[in-house]
Amino acid sequence: MKIVGLTGGIGSGKTTVAKLFSELGVSIYIADVEAKKLMNRSKVIRRKLIALFGEKAYTNEALNRPYIASKIFNNKELLEQMNAIVHPKVGAHFKRWLKKQNGAYVIKEAAIIFEEGMQSQYDCIVLVTADLEERINRVLQRDNTSREKVLAIVNNQLSDEEKIKKSDFVIVNNSIKDTKAQVLKIHKSLIK
């Protein structure tokens, strides 16, 4: 079974593309969603995050996401320390999930495959891109944030040009009709 990485910058439409693959019967693992669940459920992660960020890291038994985000937003070292706590647990969880799957391939959606140097964990990588203004508008509609914050996140991520060079497939996600056709074409090549 192939492990396909699905990645793309903020607002590129990774979730939409993952849903399209899912509709074709492909099993999808959304790393960010699973990481959030593990941060709330795992006593080990909880203990380590409280040691890193202090007691405010959790409120009412749940991860205090706004507090954590404010701490790591402009602090790369703190972000790396948090990732060193969370990423190994997500990796182990993915391996357990993978054993229960069947099919020609599965998709693991993760935003920072290239930024974290994790591309060797995949048999191939699908990159989702979209025009920058489209990406910004999507995030502004989805999240309670500002254009400046979205651009700061975009600028912290590897450029699409760099990601394209490292990807096996590229989906340009500006129109749902075109995106569906691109997903189907990639799906057919992966099940051969």
Tokens of 159: 């450029």
Is 129 annotated among the ligand-binding residues?
Answer: no
Length, in residues, of the chain: 192
User: 25 and 31 in contact (C-beta within 8 Å)?
Assistant: no
Is 12 annotated among the ligand-binding residues?
Answer: yes
C-alpha distance from residue 37 to each of 42, 89, 112, 117, 119 (Å): 8, 11, 18, 23, 24
Is 14 annotated among the ligand-binding residues?
Answer: yes
User: 23 and 184 in contact (C-beta within 8 Å)?
Assistant: no
Is 7 annotated among the ligand-binding residues?
Answer: no
Is 11 annotated among the ligand-binding residues?
Answer: yes
Binding-site residue ranges = 11-16
**Would you list which residues are annotated within the binding site for ATP?**
11-16
